[in-house]
Amino acid sequence: MKQWVLSFLMIVILGCSSQKTDQIPDQFQELENLTVYSTDTTPVKTISFKKDVIYGNTIKVLLGSVTEIAVDGSGRVFIADIENMTIHVFEPGGRYIHQLGRDGRGPGEFSTIHSIQIQGDRLYAFDLWPNNKVHIFTLDSLTIEETIILARNRGEYQELYNASPIIHEIYVRNNKTYLAEFILNSSKQRRLWKNIDIRGLFYLLDSTGKMASNKLIDIKEDTRTSFQAFDVPVKPFFGNAFTVLSSDNSIYLVGPGHVLIKEYSPNGAYRSSFYYPHNKIPITRESAIDAEVPDIFINSMDSMDLPETWPVITDMKIGYQDRLWIATTVKDMNVYEWWVLENTGELIAKFKWPRDEQIEVVKNEYVYTRETNAETGHQQIVRYRFEMN
């Protein structure tokens, strides 16, 4: 009886279409507090963009290999440059101000710059490989405040014995603590082109970097394929999971296969989910070429055990008012279709954006993209002002 009622409700919510995309997958039907939106849901607003400022496009300031950017409350832009092992700082209008850090192993010196994040009046620069460090800079003086070793007590956690010793991803919370993700290979066998599921294990760290909780969440992070002596993440074909934190430290997770976003409390307790049906695009050699997948992967497609369709979700950001911005795959492989959603799932707006102009940050009424200057071939960060009507 319960199953019949559930099926009836799905028909009412999703409509009478017989298309494959209108059927909610079986594995989601038992989720508590699940909201299902119709495939015919239309945006309530339109969104427009105007190019505003370019950062790093002058002869004096040439960016190397950009890993990530961050924007503070005043609009200053911080660009992590792993080639030059420094963080470039720009005023909101584009004038170069300063650089933070350099190559080295001391306080404020980097072996790598995995990511940078801003929380409150601090900038956090994560030097995860091979150090599991975070360098904390003050935004007022743009100087190094302290360097912390992360997860130094991970050996106390049996679940992490077989996991990577290096933190895979880390997120600063608004109380100066951290949410850390480790990864675990679920397979002990390796043979050429064998697919391997990688699990993501989430834990809390306190303000000193010490692990301070049992495992909060266990997810499938991505699928990798065995190539020579390595497990290679072939993200163009398999995708990966995405995690963002809201202003109150709530956790939002989405995998690559469906528009299914789950919300968890700051302590990892599941709260709710929402789901949108979405057309899946078949993987073909032609579409892989159009998507500019690296040749090494295209040339190996016949040997790989590929999924039938492209990842549905290719990115997720969080912006003003904790709205979620997700990038979805559409037939035109030159673009992504971005959706702007309330964090409860209501669709606000949709827009198309070039694949080769990756959206890095959404901050207030701006989006910041990573682009390549067509004339010089150098990377630059571009700010666009957006309006919703």
Residue range 159-200, pLDDT digits in tens: 999 999 999 999 999 999 999 999 998 666 677 888 999 999
Specify if 218 maps to a domain: no
Specify if 103 maps to a domain: yes
Specify if 99 maps to a domain: yes
Count of other CB atoms within 10 angstroms of residue 51: 10
Within its chain, how far is the Cα of 167 from the centroid? 15
Structure tokens given for 245:
């934190």
Q: Is 3 exposed, middle or buried (0-12, 13-18, 19+ CB in 10 A)?
A: exposed
pLDDT for res 193: 84
Flag whether pLDDT at 23 surpasses 80.
no
Spatial separation of the C-alpha atoms in residues 234 and 232, rounded to whole Å: 6
Report how many domains make up the chain: 1
The domain in which residue 90 lies consists of 69-149
What residue type is 284 in one-letter code?
A: T
Count of other CB atoms within 10 angstroms of residue 43: 16
Flag whether pLDDT at 215 surpasses 60.
yes
Spatial separation of the C-alpha atoms in residues 236 and 315, rounded to whole Å: 12
Please give the mean pLDDT across all residues of the chain. Answer: 90
Q: What pLDDT band is residue 17 in, cutting at 50, 70 and 90?
A: very low
pLDDT for res 228: 65
CATH number at residue 90: 2.40.10.480
Specify if 208 maps to a domain: no
Condensed to tens digits (0 to 9), the pLDDT of residues 122-143 reads 999 999 988 899 999 999 999 9
pLDDT > 70 in the chain, percent: 91
Q: What pLDDT band is residue 11 in, cutting at 50, 70 and 90?
A: very low
Q: Which residue has the tokens 């980097």?
A: 110
Flag whether pLDDT at 6 surpasses 70.
no
Specify if 250 maps to a domain: no
Condensed to tens digits (0 to 9), the pLDDT of residues 70-123 reads 999 999 999 999 999 999 999 999 999 999 999 988 889 999 999 999 999 999
pLDDT for res 187: 67
Specify if 209 maps to a domain: no
Q: Give the lowest-confidence range in 18-22, 244-248, 260-264.
A: 18-22
Torsion angle of C-alpha atoms 329, 252, 135, 82, degrees rounded to 10: 0
Specify if 123 maps to a domain: yes
Closest CA to 34 of 18, 8, 4, 13: 13
Q: Which residue has the tokens 């049996």?
A: 158
Specify if 51 maps to a domain: no
Condensed to tens digits (0 to 9), the pLDDT of residues 350-382 reads 999 999 999 999 999 999 999 988 887 888 999
